[in-house]
Each structure stands twice: as C-alpha cells, then as structure tokens.
Chain A
Amino acid sequence: MKKKEEYVATIGLEVHVQLKTRTKMFCGCAVEFGAEPNTNVCPVCLGLPGSLPVMNEEALRLTALAGLMFGCEIGPVCKFDRKNYFYPDMPKNYQISQYDMPFCLGGEVPLHTLAYPKDAQKAIANPGKKVRLVRIHLEEDVAKSFHLENASGIDFNRAGTPLLEIVSRPDIETPEEAFAYLTVLQQVMVYGGVSDADMEKGQMRCDVNVSVRRVGDEGLGTKVELKNLNSISGVRRALAYEIRRQIEVLCGGGRLEQETRRWDDAQGETVLMRTKESAHDYRYFPDPDLMPVKTERFVAEARGRMPELPWAKRERFVKQYGVSEYDAGVLADDLALAAYFERAAAGSKKPKAVANWLLNDVLSALSSAGKGIGDCPVSPEGLLELVDTIESGVISGRQGKEVFAEMFATGKRASQIIEEKGLKQLSDVGALEVLCEQVIRDNPGPVADYRAGKAAAINFLKGQVMKLSKGKANPSVVSEILEKKLAG
C-alpha cells in the first residue's frame, strides 16, 4: 500500500479560443453569438461544392498579437493544412488547421498570485511559476450539433469561426495552477482584444490531460483526457477529483487505463466516456487552396496593437498612483476596472483614495446590484468628483457614503445631491469661531479638564460644535479652532 503523498500530477491543457473578428476565418459571414440557426452561412462555410476559402487577415493579426503577448516565436512563414476526419459538424469533412508550420511556437504564461483561486492565494507552491507553451495555431471552428428527440440538427453559424488552439507543455502540477493558467490566458486574450474568451458562450473551451506518477519516477503516468469542462472553476474541481481518483486507484493496487472521461459538474465526478481510442490518422497535408502566409506584415501590425499586459499595468499602478500592490493587482486583473480606475485617478490629487472608493464602495454596490463595472451608474468622472469633494473637506467621509448611495441609485452628480440635501460642510472659519466660542462658554467643566491635560475632553467640545451646526461643521476645521482657542 503506497501513500497518497508520494504522488504528483502532470497536467497539460489544450485551449481553444474564438477570435474576436467581425467575420469568419475563410468567408465573409458574420461571427455572432446566439443568432437564429443557419443564418450566418454561405457556400464557403457550408462547404458547398466549388467554394474556396479566403483568409481573414484580421484573424492573422490577432494570432500574431496572441503570439507576441505570450512571447512566442513567430517564423517568417506559416501554412494551413487539411485535417481529415468525418463528423457531421464538419462541412467539408476536413478542418483547415495548421500542422507542422503553426503561426506561433513556444512562449509562456506567467501565473501571478491573484490568478489563483482566492482560497489558494496564501499557499502557492511555486510563486512566479511560468507555464511554457508548445504552440499556438489558427484553425476554423466546426458547426454545432443538436440532438432532438427523434432527430439531430446542425447549426453551421459557428462553422468557420476563427479559432486559436493553445497547447501547453505538461508543466502544470495542481488544479490551482490550472485555474491560474486559464485565468491568465483569459485575461490576456481580453486585454489584447483577441477574444472575449467567455467560457459560458463557448468562446474559450478546454481539454485537459492529466496523469499521476510517484515522486521520483522518470516517466509520466497513464494519461486521462477530461471533457465537458465549462468553467475555470469546473476545471479545478474536475482535476481535483480526477487526481484523487487516480491516486486512489494506484494506492489500491489498481491500474489506470488510457481513457477519456466526462466531468459531471452536478455530481462532482468524472465518468468514463471511452477507453483507448485507436489513434486517429488525420492525414494532414498542405491545403492547396491557400497560399503559405508570410507573417512579417501581420506581426508588424500586431506590434502596433500590443496592449500593456496585466503584469506591467500592475507595476505601473503602484509606481504612478501609489496604490498598494494588492490593490494594483485587483485593479489590473480586470481590464474594464483598470480603465475605470485610470479615468478617475488621472485627474485626482489622491489616486489612492480613488482606488479605495472604487475597490470598496463601488465594487460592493455593484455586486449587490448584480452589475458589472461596464454598467456602473456612477461614471469615473462622477467618482472623481465625489472623492475630491470629500478630500477637500466640502463634505465628510460619512456624508460621502450617503452621497455615493444616492449617486449609485439615481445617477445624479455628487454636487447636485450635496446641493439638494444641503449637505455642504461648514468650513467658514469666521462662522465656526462663533460656534466654538459659544461651546467654550457653555461648557466650563470640560474646558477646564482639557486645560488640565485631559486631551480627550476636546472630543466632547467638538461634538457640541457639530451638534450646534446640525452636523455640517467641518470636523477638522473645528478641531483646529478649538485647539487654538483653548491653548490661548
């Protein structure tokens, strides 16, 4: 009987990402999610006799951009090949893909702390780990089959959508690393405008290979492929289950079969789909309908579109705005949130305060309203105005919360709400001096206490001034006046 601790997992991911192009890979049909079945189709993407593919140059640019973002090698020429197999969702019964001359080779995906699941961020086994890529290639997506009661239907709207295949080296060792890897991939795709990478919409799909072996063993264990992984957290759960299952089989003296298993998210288990598929011979050969692609022009154009990557943005936020590393990380994790922050922070003397408001008040209001930053009722300029109003003492921090709630609910500007509610703080020194003098006069006891060295007594006096001003007095101005007068 072997111990569980003696095992380590090896995980490889094959991720497919739909490119964010207006039209399909080899024809002019629109790429559109949720359209009526078989409405975005033409002779080319239906594979009708006599039709021919023509390359979508935007897809080539986006592929080059993906390659640049992950630091891949891009050769001077890549080509397209036909991958032959019969399946009803394949209009031509071959898929135009890339075989031995893919667009991008190598590259790596850095796993940063915040990309890990929240509960795992405190105990990361290999901080700063980078997962190496084998390749990124471009191909066409297939159609989608639907199985009805007595028949099957095929929707060809998806057929021909440009698709990236991103293959990792088997560098990933834990479900948490797989989670972080997918999170970073998704983030970078969105950052570059390469893909919306929404797993729920099938814009990002992944197949996982996982095996376990005893620590110290040279060769890899028997590989199991997992299917039906529809979310990043689902991948984590499926891997955790599958690794446990494989270790248990081996610990119990059993043998593992090379097989494909389906993840059942509701039951929380993997179920056998098929064993030992006979190796498919795809009979790849260069597609004679397409000329090899000279990549230079597309790489140059992609270079001009290189975004600031999440990790670079994080560092800059710390330096430029003085926010904490953690806050910078949270901000940079989400491109839309980062953009919102920069619009608000750019005009502010206290960008740090803007970040605090954004990460606390704005995000919690959004989450309880079930909204995303994209449809936040308070604009970045509105938040900036609010934070400035507080920072310059026009209203108190507590009033600020009230004003924000109103802004969020109504979409009104802070200044308008302050006006309507008469919330403006009393900061006029002359007027406040009158109030302070009155309070000193009316409260000889605490005044004497303060003068006798009981510093806390000033808080009582401050409270009385606030009361007299009906809460409008600017507390810091009041403190200053009181201190001056009591000292004199």
Chain B
Amino acid sequence: MEIVNLTLYELRQKIRDGELSVCEVLEALGERIAATDSTVGAYLDYNIERALSEARNVDLSLPLGGLPIAIKDNINVKGELCTCASKILTGYRAPYDATAIARLKSAGAIPFGRLNMDEFAMGSSTENSAYQLTRNPWDPSRIPGGSSGGSAASVAARSAFAALGSDTGGSIRQPAAHCGCVGLKPSYGRVSRYGLVAFASSLDQIGPLARSVRDCALLLSVIAGHDPADSTSLDAPVPDYTANLREDLRGIRLGIPKEYFSEGIDSHVRSCIETALQHCKELGAEIVEISLPHTPYAISTYYIIAPAEASANLARFDGVRYGYRTANPADISELYFNTRAEGFGSEVKRRIILGTYVLSSGYYDAYYLRAQKVRTLIRRDFEQAFQSVDAIVCPTSPEPAFPIGERTSDPLKMYLSDIFTISANLAGICAISVPCGFAQINGKKLPVGLQFLCNFLEEQKLLSIANAYEVTTPWSRQSPPI
C-alpha cells in the first residue's frame, strides 16, 4: 500500500513499529503534493525541508510523534505566514502559536503547510481566496467546498494525512462531505480558539479533517481541553476519544429531523442518505423522526449573528500596525478607507456591511437582539431532541459539489447550501461528516457526506456512532482519480 494512502492511525503504527521512518513519510508526502497540487491548489505554501529537519528531533513515542499535519491559513503557527487567504494580511507572520498548534507540537506533530480557504473563512466554496482556486480532487471542474476547502481537498487528494480546519457554519463538515473525507466540528469551547483568527467568535471552532473517524478522534484528544487564554474554552476533562470506538449501533436511537427532509435535497444525495439510514438500521440503530421546529430561521439567524461579530473582529485590519497598507494615504481616514477597500474581497466586505447594519442603533433590536433570541430557541430545539435520541442524522449538504463559478454571483444561493450545518454552530453542539457514497454526475463520482450531530460535549458518543458507520462501509477508503 502506498504511504500516502495510509490513515494517520496506520501511519503512526508503522512509524512506531519501525516499518516506516518519518523521513520516508515526509518525502512521500512531498512527492504527492508536487504531483497533485498544481491541479488541486490546496496549499498556499508548505515546507518539506524544514519538516525533515524538525523530524530529526521528534520523540516518536509521543501521541502524534513525527506525524505531519497541514493547517488552515487562519490558525497562527509561530514564524509562518498567516493570511486567512486575504490580501489584507499579505506578508503577515504569526508571532505566536495558536493553542491548538502548541498542543499538536508538544504531542510530536509537525505542522508543515498552510492550506487555502475562503477569505477569513467566509464562503462555502474556497472561491473567495485572494490567492488561488482550490479544485475538488474528484472533479477538478468543481469546488472543494469551503471555507476549509484546502484542508478537505488535501486530505482527499492524499496530499495530507490530516489537517486542521475551522468551522463557523459548516466550514469543516461541508468541504469534508464534498471531498469525501471525515470532518469534525467539536462542541463550542471544546478546543481553544486562542490563535484562530476570529470570524464569528461565538460560532468558531477549530476541528480536524482526516480520512477516518479514528484519526479525527486521535487529533481531537490532543487539541481539546481547557485553555486559560480562551475565556470561552471549557474546563471539562478530555477523554481518550480513540478508546472504545464501537462498530455497531445496537441500542442507539438516531433522530431524523422532519424539517430537513422536506425539499431541496438533490436526488443523488437523497438516495445516498436513504441507503445510509438503512445501513444504520442494519447496524442495530433505531431510527425515529424528530422535529427541530426553528430550522427555517437558522440561516437568517446565522447571517445576522456571524456578520455582526465579524464586523467588529475584522475592524483591526486597518493598515496601521500590520498587514497590507494602501500607498500614500493623504490622512488617517484615507488610510482606513483605501486599505480596507483594497485589502478585503467582496464577500468579506458584504458581510462587514451586513454586520455593521444589523448592529446600528435603530436596527439592533430588530436584527441582532431578535437573532439572539431565535438562537436560544434553536438551542432548545436540540436540547429537546436529545432527550429522546442519542444522535441526529442528516445530509451534510443538500447537494454534491457544484461547478466552479456557478454560484459566485448568487451569494444567497451559496448561503442556502449551509442549511444542514449552521444549526450545530448556533446551538454549540458537536457534529461530524462522514462519506456515505457518491453521486454520479457527468461520468464523475462526487462524494456525498452523512452528518451526525450529538449533544454538547458528547464528542465521545458522536465519534463512536460515526466510527460504527464508517468502518462498516467502504466510502472513506475510496481515493479520487487524481
């Protein structure tokens, strides 16, 4: 078996057993990136040479000893560029490690490359990067999803074993679904946000993308946990998420939200999901219909709260202290106006304007305050649902990856494709996307993702259920044709 096809877990075993050296692994990875990335465009940059030199000192007995991990470009890695795929952070180097990165490093992992994304994580297709397009490894004419498109595409293309992404409204799960890998969004507060460049502070979470549920569990065990530098991180014990991952679903009750299956789901996706549900039943699960009555309001709620927070979070990018600065401003207002006009892309500007609007006096109560109230109702929907089911199951995205350029002029249509992922962020619960088959379109196989959602801090149960599905189906071990 080719090295690059191994899962992170298998790779670790082979390194520990002495079957593979970290150097061999890194060289194979470097070759794979060189062979695929001119097509895929997942990496903004990577450095195998330096990874090799770091590998010499690494302690292989550590939980992630010698394992290379690729990082989304909105997570600070000390000394590396950190641009959020935005022109406004051109040349900005991170002066410190994000807590998640510090934890990866002390577990022996080697962050070696920066992955493309939608600018400031705003988007569902990675088309909003200021630097390059990332293509879906299963069909390079299509988007990889977003905003963690580089993360999903690299893992799928076998040009990364695993990656970190961030998920504000589906930005890990949706690209994982489109690229055929596993993507986990932990509960809000499970992983420290310190060092993740904020998009929407009350929704953002860092999480892993990998080729198996077990790999995601392995990474989560390392990056999760309380961080005194993040007041919103939770002081709850971190179990070994790789222990006791089950392979059946006996005694598990899965809920299907009736609101999610009403309309607008692509027929290929629908048939994959139906087959997957049948499979879950065969594994012993009981499947019941549930209701999440406030689902229709989720997208509007999200598109008020997230831009509101973003409008403040992105105010610091002003050309005064770091990053891009406009040439020869006449005065301070011109410095602000021109730097931001030239430095931000149109989707980022759209959301800053939206956020500024909904927070303005006279509109605050009608938009922001009301959205917060609806958010509470959405959270209660889930609390209610989890009283009778262990997990909720649904598609990750209503459709497979769409062609590049198809939605760029229709932001609303782009927003609507986040329908199944957004609620988990609003409710703060954990969710995972696992591959569940393919849609055959124009002779191309396009991956479809199945999403499981569990209650707040129930990552262990979530991973266990997803693992049972994943290891008893063939989908996660399919390689794209590239």
Contacts and interface: CB of A to CB of B under 8 A. Distances in A.
B95 A48 contact: yes
A50 B227 CA distance: 14
Given A46-B321, A88-B320, A283 B202 contact: no
B228 interface: yes
Contact of B232 (A88, A285, A289): A289
A47 B198 CA distance: 11
B434 to A, nearest CB: 29
Interface string B305-337: 000110110011110111000000000100010
Contacts, number: 91
Interface in A45-82: 46-55, 82
Given A91-B316, A283-B361, A288 B95 contact: no
Contact of B229 (A52, A94, A281, A285): A52
Contacts of B211: none
Interface string A26-60: 00000000000000000100111111111100000
Contacts of A291: 231-232
Contacts of A46: 321
Contacts of A429: none
Given A50-B196, A55-B231, A288-B202, A84 B318 contact: no
Contacts of A154: 320
Interface string B81-95: 010100001001011
A290 interface: yes
A92 interface: yes
A50 B308 contact: no
Given A48-B95, A52-B231, A84 B315 contact: yes
Nearest to B203: A288
B332 A49 contact: no
B261 interface: no
Contacts of A82: 312
Contacts of A54: 228-231
Given A86-B315, A288-B201, A289-B201, A49 B194 contact: no
Contacts of B232: 52, 288-289, 291
Contacts of B356: 283
B8 interface: no
Given A43-B96, A289-B231, A94 B194 contact: no
A285 B359 contact: yes
Contacts of A49: 76, 82, 84, 89, 92, 197-198, 316-317
Contacts of B312: 82, 84, 92, 94, 283, 285
A93 interface: yes
A376 B1 CA distance: 85
B249 interface: no
Interface in A67-117: 82, 84, 86, 88, 91-94
B194 A52 contact: yes
Given A50-B76, A285-B359, A93 B194 contact: no
A43 B194 CA distance: 11
Interface string A287-312: 01111000000000000000000000
B472 interface: no
Contact of B359 (A88, A283, A289): A283
A281 B357 CA distance: 11
Interface in B284-321: 308-309, 311-312, 315-318, 320-321
B83 to A, nearest CB: 10
Given A49-B76, A84-B315, A285-B368, A91 B231 contact: no
Nearest to A156: B321
Contacts of B317: 49
A46 B318 CA distance: 13
Interface string B364-393: 100010000000000000000000000000
A154 B201 CA distance: 27
Contacts of B95: 43, 48
Contacts of B195: 50-51
Interface in B38-54: none
A283 B361 CA distance: 6
A88 B316 contact: no
A371 B185 CA distance: 64
Contacts of A92: 312, 315-316
Contacts of A52: 193-194, 229-232
Nearest to B200: A288
Contacts of A50: 74-76, 82, 94, 98, 194-198
A51 B359 contact: no
Given A49-B197, A49-B316, A285 B308 contact: yes
B226 to A, nearest CB: 12
B75 to A, nearest CB: 8
Nearest to A92: B316
A90 B359 CA distance: 20
Interface in B11-51: none
A73 B96 CA distance: 41
A23 B198 CA distance: 25
Nearest to B227: A52
A94 B315 contact: yes
A147 to B, nearest CB: 12
Contacts of A51: 194-195
B437 to A, nearest CB: 37
A149 to B, nearest CB: 17
Contacts of B98: 50
A284 B95 CA distance: 30
Interface in A267-283: 281, 283
A82 B84 CA distance: 23
Nearest to A87: B332
Contacts of A55: 231
Contacts of B318: 86, 93
A368 B10 CA distance: 83
B360 interface: yes
A47 B323 CA distance: 13
A43 B316 CA distance: 12
B291 to A, nearest CB: 29
A191 B19 CA distance: 71
Contacts of A281: 360-361
A93 B322 contact: no
A99 B360 CA distance: 15
A295 B332 CA distance: 40
Contacts of B322: 48
Contacts of A48: 95-96, 322
A53 B92 contact: no
A448 to B, nearest CB: 94
Interface centre among A49, A285, A289 (most CB of B within 10 A): A49
A91 B312 CA distance: 12
Contacts of A285: 308-309, 312, 359, 364, 368
19 contacts: A43-B96, A46-B321, A48-B322, A49-B76, A49-B82, A49-B89, A52-B229, A53-B231, A54-B231, A84-B311, A93-B315, A93-B318, A94-B312, A281-B360, A283-B364, A284-B359, A288-B201, A289-B231, A291-B231
Interface of A: 43, 46-55, 82, 84, 86, 88, 91-94, 154, 281, 283-285, 288-291
Q: Which 3 residue pairs across A and B have the least CB separation, nearest first?
A: A93-B315, A288-B202, A288-B201
Given A52-B230, A84-B315, 18 more contacts: A46-B321, A47-B321, A49-B92, A49-B197, A49-B198, A52-B193, A82-B312, A84-B311, A84-B359, A91-B321, A92-B315, A93-B315, A154-B320, A281-B360, A283-B356, A285-B308, A285-B368, A289-B201
Interface of B: 74-76, 82, 84, 89, 92, 94-96, 98, 193-198, 200-202, 228-232, 308-309, 311-312, 315-318, 320-322, 332, 336, 356, 359-361, 364, 368
